[in-house]
């Protein structure tokens, strides 16, 4: 099932024979992660790229006030890594943590380089994935500058309703850069 789910995702971007996909699969490993377990801690060097099969990961950093600031979530069929640390093999300033129990595929940086050298179609796949992620990051930045926090919550509620059912309110507040109390107030106003 895990390979089938990943294959379905890959096939959205490139065509690949059964035989080639079987070869591609050998570069990946599976992992189960407990709720609140960290895959990456600040100061470590990121070595892996993660594809979520089931569950939710979040990326966050600790700000100057010692408060966790969530910058990204990844649900099923999304990728997560610290791209800067992975590319430059430098210590990360982020943490990656499971929001709920997670099943994932992961690929080591060195294995990914070999994969791309031996299976050029995967180069296009990862390019497409990164392009979508970059476009989403650009829009998030625009929304952070352009929307009030209340408008941002309502946009988030309409565009990503599955998060509101699965992610604790304090993490949503962290992602929206507001306090949990202010988020409660916004939610109360939208119900009345």
Report the C-alpha gap between 72 and 68 in whole angstroms. Answer: 12
pLDDT along the chain (192 residues), means of 10: 84 94 96 98 98 97 94 94 96 98 97 96 95 90 87 86 86 89 85 65
Residues 6 or more apart from 131 whose CB is under 8 A from it?
Answer: none
Tell me how crowded residue 65 is: count the other CB atoms within 10 A of its CB: 6
Strands (DSSP E) contained in 3-47 are 29-33, 38-40
Query: pTM of the prediction?
Result: 0.91
Residues 6 or more apart from 128 whose CB is under 8 A from it?
Answer: 13, 14
């Amino acid at each position: 099932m895990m390979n089938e789910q990943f294959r379905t995702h890959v096939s959205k971007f490139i065509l690949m024979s059964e035989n080639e996909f079987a070869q591609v699969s050998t570069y990946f490993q599976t992992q189960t992660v407990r709720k609140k377990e960290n895959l990456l801690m600040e100061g470590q060097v990121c070595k892996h790229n993660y594809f979520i099969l089931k569950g939710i990961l979040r990326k966050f950093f600790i700000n100057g006030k010692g408060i966790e600031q969530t910058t990204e979530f990844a649900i099923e069929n999304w990728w997560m890594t610290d791209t800067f640390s992975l590319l430059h093999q430098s210590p990360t300033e982020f943490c990656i943590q499971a929001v709920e129990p997670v099943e994932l595929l992961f690929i080591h940086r060195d294995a990914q380089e070999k994969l791309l050298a031996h299976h050029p179609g995967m180069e296009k796949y990862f390019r497409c994935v990164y392009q979508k992620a970059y476009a989403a990051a650009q829009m998030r930045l625009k929304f952070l500058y352009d929307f009030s926090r209340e408008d941002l919550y309502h946009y988030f509620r309409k565009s990503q309703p599955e998060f509101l059912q699965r992610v604790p309110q304090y993490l949503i507040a962290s992602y929206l850069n507001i306090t949990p109390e202010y988020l409660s107030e916004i939610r109360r106003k939208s119900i009345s």
